Amino acid sequence: MLYFQSLLNRFCSYVLILLLFSCQKETRENSELEAIIITPEEKQVIISKIYENQKDIKLCNQERDQALSIDSTEIYPLKENQYLVEILCFLGAYQGNYQYLLYNRVNSAIEKISFATFRDNPQNLQLTNTFTLNGSPEFDPISQTLSLETKSRGLGDCGSFVVYQWQNSEFTLREYRYKSDCDGVYLSPEKYPLIYP
């Protein structure tokens, strides 16, 4: 009996040590990201590079509203010398259209980011890829997740909720929720019926 108790104690100690190291690694990675500060000057350099190349990269499918301020561009660190750039292409009645780019500070490379999504057709949801997203996005640089709420109408009682995870230099679709019934009943988008996975 003592032998098993000793074995159990050792096992618990190993698990505790593993958990501590794992938490330290995650904290270290998070603090490294938090330490990457984009100065206003750096932001302007990145934005200038993108707009110099907007025709080549077909920025916003060449449908960007020129009246929108370039200052509405958001830049998030992904890792050292690599940034996610969020461009507001145009505003609709109650949400925006956005394009995301990957910017490499070392060689000034700009890549368009493709997203797997479902075409919002109540009768037939089809998986497709797109370079622009409609809705209200929120990117968390620490967890490197992008969530997007899209309203099918202004009342906000139907639409979609999507979560993407940044990994291996691309966004992976993690969750897709969709409520097709515009019934006048508000439901938090995070509670819409799960379509994927």
Q: What is the sign of the dihedral through the CA atoms of 181, 182, 183 and 187?
A: positive
Domain ranges of the chain: 35-196
pLDDT at residue 173 tops 70:
yes
Q: What is the pLDDT of residues 26-46, one digit of tens each?
A: 444 555 656 678 899 999 999
pTM of the model: 0.80
